[in-house]
Structure 1
Amino acid sequence: MIIASIMTLLALLVLSVPVAATLIILAITIDYFFSPFPLYLAFGDVLWSASDSFLLIAIPLFVLLGELLVRSGVAKNTYVALESWLSWLPGGLLHANIGTATFFSATSGSSVATSATVGTVALPQGKLLGYDSRLFTGSIAAGGTLGIMIPPSINLIVYGFITETSIPKLFAASLIPGLMLAIIFVIGTAIICSLLPSLGGPKRRHTWSERFKGLIELLPVLSLFIIVVGSIYAGWATPTEAAAIGVAGALLLAALYRTLTIDMLIEAIEGTMKTTGMIMLIIVASYFLNFVLASSGVTREISSFINTSGMDAFNTLLLIIALYIVLGFFLETLSLMVITLPIVAPVIISLGYDPIWFGVLVILLIEMALITPPVGLNLYVVQGVRREGSLNDVMVGALPYVLMMVVMGILLVAFPDIALFLPRALG
């Protein structure tokens, strides 16, 4: 049954069937051939119960928050401020790319939005100052991946919904690893540009008065992050309520920057509807697949197979990590999550691993998928903003950052408290 299910899944993906349709077709196929009961009769009830959740309202709200920030002009001012603080390091503006992506990730919740926004602001500067196009574009693509690690993260909400894990705890668990990964990016970039100065650009010097003046431009983003995420950590608001507060704050920022217009609102709402529709369809389809897998005994068979295979918990974990890395070459991140989690999460939890820690590890692994060819979405986003040169330049430039993510993954596996310290500290 397991082999037949995997072969059906791969065949549908190779035929380029949309992910949501693939999940539903796979569920119905498993039901028809392997279930003694007609599980498809519960299709309507399962889909309704999957979509009738207060938590899921947070998804369109966080998407709208990101859409508003993309169009408000916040990113440009953030980039200028961080450039004055970071461009003295070996690599110059490369660090401003990473720093801006980190700040924008703390409010947008989307890697694609982060990459597109930072790319729009940074690429003209890099071209003007003669930076190496490969590492420069690679830093933007890699920095954009932080959008799904640093809270608030739409992918963490999806993980929490599928695995029935606390969203506030996931947000708390991902904060330190997300900031650590950003620091690893900065250190790695500085080392590369120290060894190969031609890959960086000119160091830029700024006076202390310019730097402190730039801090004012960081206050809006920091304030929004503290309000949204801080209200969740403090227990004052649920993720959905915090997302609504964030949208109100983004509207206020857009009004202060004088970019709040009817056309801007229409574009933001249209973008939100398209993204939310795609996400929700995939989520409810994965929920039905999860129901069929559990009811037909596939999940139980997989757990039994692993328990009787002679592999210990650590080797099983390594096998699952390898699976995510390989599938990440071919699957988009959200699709990768919803296809694998119904099968993988019960196995990992049964082996005694913490689901909060595993959620952070999964996010890190699908971050790698965002910048690994041939389907690395951030690579195409940055190239689309760039509109010149070759996609190969972005791919080559992102490779060092893939290795830095591997380093972060090793640290996360070796020291689980990197992710679990803050949730425990916050109770």
Structure 2
Amino acid sequence: MFPTLITVLFGLLALGIPVAAVLVIVTLVLDHSFSFFPVLPVVGEMLWGGSTSFTLIAVPLFILTGELLLSSGIAAGMFMAIDRWVRVIPGGLLHTIIGSSALFSATSGSSVATAATISTVAIPQMKAGGYAPPLFLGSIAAGGTLGILIPPSINMIIYGVLSDQSIGQLYLASFIPGLMMALIFSVMVFAMCRLDPAKGGRREAPATWAEKIESLPALVPPLLLFVLMVGSIYLGIATPTEAAALGFLAALALAAWRRKLSMAVLVHAAERTMRTTCMVMLIVLAAQLLNFVMVSIGLADQIKTAVAALNAPPLAILAAIVIIYMVLGCFMETLSLMIATTPIVVPVIVGIGYDPVWFGVVFMILIEMALITPPIGMNLFVVQSVRGEGNFNDVAMGALPFVGAMLVIVILLIALPDLALWLPDFVRG
């Protein structure tokens, strides 16, 4: 049964059929071939229940918040403010890119939105600063991946829904690894630019203390949004969905305060949000339907039994899963990879004794790798699209060192699980 599922799933994806359609086709094949009762009579009720999920309402709200930050100029102001503080470090603007990506990720929750926003602001300065295109463009693509690890993360919400885990616990678990990843990115850029100063562009004159102090107000809006959204979740004041609503209202107020709020801005932000949300929700609903069939025919239990029969050490099974995801990430779009495999892999992970919250963090990093590994890496295409010229290989090759840095984080999390689990355990008391 399992080989049939894998063969049909990846065969259809290889043909270029839309992900949601593939999931529905696989559902119907499994239902027709193995189910003791037809699933079609309950499809309407299941899809309605999934589409009205209170938790998933957070997805469009986070996307809309990020769109408003971009349209109101808050993202550009944040970028310039960070640049004044870090431009003296070897690598200059590259550290600004990573820092801005981390801060913007803490308000938008989307990797693609982060990569697109930072690309729009940073790429025009690449030539002026004399930076080597591969490392510069690769840092933007890799920095964008922080959007699905640093809370609030849209992908974490989807993982939590599919694996039945607490969104709040997942956010707590991903906070420290997310900051560690941003730090490792910067350390790696620093080392590369010290070894080859030509990659780090021309050294700019350091900003004066007056200029640094003057730039601080531009950092207040994104920090305020982060504290409002994530703080309200951690303090138990709001659910992730309610926190997303608070973030949207705050972004709306900030755009109005900056006199950037207009009907044209609202319509543009709503249209882009609607496009992204419809794509995500259609895939999520199809995945929930597939999950229902897999549970009803006992596929999840069969996979766990088969893995247990191997008598392999848990670490060996985990290592195999990591390698499989690294390979699949080269050929599958990240959202489809996550949604298609979460219901299969999480029961296996739990069955061999690993914490599903901890694995959620490892999983997000593996998905981050898929975002910047050719030929399907979404962030690579986003950065190249904003660039609008030059060779795509510049972006792809520039991102490869960051894939290695992500693998280091995965190894650290496997060796030291408390990097992810300490904060959730501490908050639980």
Q: Secondary structure at the match of 2:390?
A: coil
The code of the aligned residue for 1:400 comes to: P
- Residues in 2 aligned to 1:202 and 1:416: alpha-carbon distance in whole angstroms: 41
Q: Which residue of 2 aligns with 1:124?
A: 124
Task: Give RMSD over aligned pairs.
Answer: 1.0
State yes or no: 1:424 paired with 2:425. Answer: yes
CA distance in structure 2 between the partners assigned to 1:120 and 1:63 by the alignment: 17
Deviation at 1:198, TM superposition (A): 1.3
Is the CA contact (8 Å cut-off) linking 2:70 and 2:76 kept in structure 1? no
The aligned residue for residue 67 of structure 2 is: 67
Shift in Å, 1:212: 2.0
For 1:243-285, what per-residue CA distance to the aligned partner results, in whole angstroms no more than 9, with x for missing partners?
1110011011111222111101001111111111111111110
Q: Within 5 A, what are the aligned runs for 1:72-151?
A: 72-151=72-151
Q: Which moved more, 1:309-318 or 1:159-168?
A: 309-318
2:361 counterpart residue number? 360
For 2:42, the equivalent position in structure 1 comes to 42
For residue 52 of structure 1, report the CA deviation from its aligned partner.
2.7
Match of 2:296 in 1: 295
Pair 1:411-2:381 in alignment = no
What is the aligned partner in structure 2 of residue 198 from structure 1? Answer: 198
- TM-superposed deviation, 1:36: 2.5
Query: Which ranges in structure 2 are unaligned for 5 or more consecutive residues?
Result: none
Q: Deviations over 1:97-156 (max 9, x none)?
A: 111111100101111111111111111111112111110011001000001111111000
Task: Report the 3-state secondary structure (helix = DSSP H, G, I; strand = E; otherwise coil) of the residue aligned with 1:229.
Answer: helix
Are 2:386 and 1:372 equivalent residues in the alignment? no
Aligned to 1:278: 279
Aligned to 2:344: 343
The secondary structure found in structure 2 opposite 1:244 is helix
1:261-340 equivalence runs, <5 A: 261-340=262-341
The answer to whether the Cα contact below 8 Å between 1:138 and 1:395 also exists between their aligned partners in 2 is: yes
Give how far 1:299 is off: 1.2
State the shift of 1:325 in Å.
0.8
Identity, % of aligned positions: 53
The answer to whether the 8 Å contact 1:70/1:113 transfers is no
CA distance, structure 1, for counterparts of residue 30 and residue 266 of structure 2? 44
Aligned residue in 2 for 1:174 = 174
User: What is the TM-score with the length of structure 1 in the denominator?
Assistant: 0.98
Check whether the contact 2:107–2:226 (CA below 8 A) recurs between aligned residues.
yes
- Structure 1 ranges of 4+ moved more than 4 A: none
Partner letter of residue 357 of structure 2? I
- Rounded to whole Å, the distance in 1 between the matches of 2:389 and 2:144 is 20
Which sits farther off after the overlay, 45-54 or 24-33?
45-54
- Name the CA distance, whole Å, in 2 between partners of 1:86 and 1:182: 14
- 1:220 Cα deviation after fit: 0.9
Provide the rounded CA distance (Å) in 1 between the counterparts of 2:311 and 2:264. 61
Q: Structure 1 residue 20: deviation in Å?
A: 0.6
Q: Secondary structure at the match of 1:426?
A: helix
SS state at 1:236 partner: coil
Q: Which aligned pairs between 1:224-263 and structure 2 lie closer than 5 A?
A: 224-263=225-264
Instruction: Describe the SS at the equivalent of 2:413.
Output: helix
- The offset of 1:40, in angstroms, is 2.9
2 CA distance for matches of 1:45 and 1:375? 35
Moved more, 27-36 or 133-142: 27-36
Asked if 2 retains the 8 angstrom alpha-carbon contact of 1:89 and 1:190, the reply is yes
Amino acid at match of 1:365: L
Aligned to 1:160: 160
Alpha-carbon distance in 2 for matches of 1:220, 1:63: 17
Q: Which amino acid aligns with 2:354?
A: Y
2-side partners of 1:333 and 1:145: how far apart? 11
Shift of 1:291: 0.8
**SS of residue in 1 equivalent to 2:123:** helix
What are the superposed Cα offsets for residues 301-345 of structure 1, whole Å, 9 maximum, x if unpaired? 111110001212111111111111111111111111100001001
Deviation string 1:352-372 (CA, Å, 9 cap, x unpaired) is 211111111110000010100
Contact 2:134 2:397 in 1 (8 A): yes
Cα distance in 1 for partners of 2:132, 2:354 equals 43
8 Å contact kept, 1:78–1:100: yes
1:391 equivalent in alignment to 2:392: yes
In 2: Cα distance, 1:57 partner to 1:144 partner: 23
SS at 1:258 equivalent? coil
Length, aligned pairs only: 427
What does the per-residue CA deviation read over 1:64-102, in whole Å, with 9 as the maximum and x for residues that have no partner? 111111211111111111111111111111111111111
